[in-house]
């Protein structure tokens, strides 16, 4: 897929959570999107993508871009975490429009604890997730934030 590019410049003290799962915007007007895998045989979508289909055992998975937006399906507030994570933080499960069975777990950022609710509309963002103390790097990955109406 041509649209999937690697438009990111990491700083010396940063590392990616994982290669090939985020489509980074190539211009300020674009939004980041997650890259999922879709089975050519049954259409099932997996994120992160798998090398073969977990539903029908199909062996051909193609890359697809998920919508930038989804809905918060469930969440919890994390108050204790392993070193490197800031607490409290909100850990959510997000549903995207492409596949009603697909649930994406991620932190919910830029959201006050008192403002979070199930069904909240959220959008994908790229952010620093935690600090990897073994590598002494800040880990860059995806999260979601509430969609703000302007």
Could you say which of 35, 36, 39, 122 contacts Zn ion (CB under 5 A)?
Answer: 39
Distance CA 94, CA 92 (A): 6
Q: What are phi and psi of 16, to 5 degrees?
A: -80, 145
61 contacts Zn ion (rule: CB under 5 A): no
DSSP state of 29: T
58 contacts Zn ion (rule: CB under 5 A): yes
Could you say which of 44, 124, 125, 130 contacts Zn ion (CB under 5 A)?
Answer: 44
Task: Answer positive or negative: Cα dihedral of 119, 85, 5, 1.
Answer: negative
Size of the site for Zn ion (CB under 5 A): 8
55 contacts Zn ion (rule: CB under 5 A): yes
Q: Which residues form the interface with Zn ion (CB under 5 A)?
A: 39, 41-42, 44, 53, 55-56, 58
């Amino acid at each position: 897929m041509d649209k999937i590019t690697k438009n990111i410049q990491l700083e010396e003290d940063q590392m990616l959570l994982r290669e090939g799962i985020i489509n980074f915007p190539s211009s300020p007007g674009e939004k980041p999107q997650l890259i999922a895998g879709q089975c050519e045989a049954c259409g099932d979508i997996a994120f992160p993508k798998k090398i073969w289909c977990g539903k029908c055992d199909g062996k051909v998975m193609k890359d697809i871009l998920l919508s930038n937006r989804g809905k918060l399906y469930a969440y919890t507030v994390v108050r204790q975490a392993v070193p490197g994570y800031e607490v409290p933080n909100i850990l959510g499960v997000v549903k995207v429009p492409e596949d009603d069975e697909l649930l994406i777990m991620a932190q919910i950022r830029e959201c006050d604890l008192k403002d979070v609710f199930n069904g909240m509309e959220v959008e994908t963002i790229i952010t620093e997730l935690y600090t990897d103390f073994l590598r002494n790097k800040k880990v860059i990955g995806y999260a979601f934030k509430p969609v703000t109406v302007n």
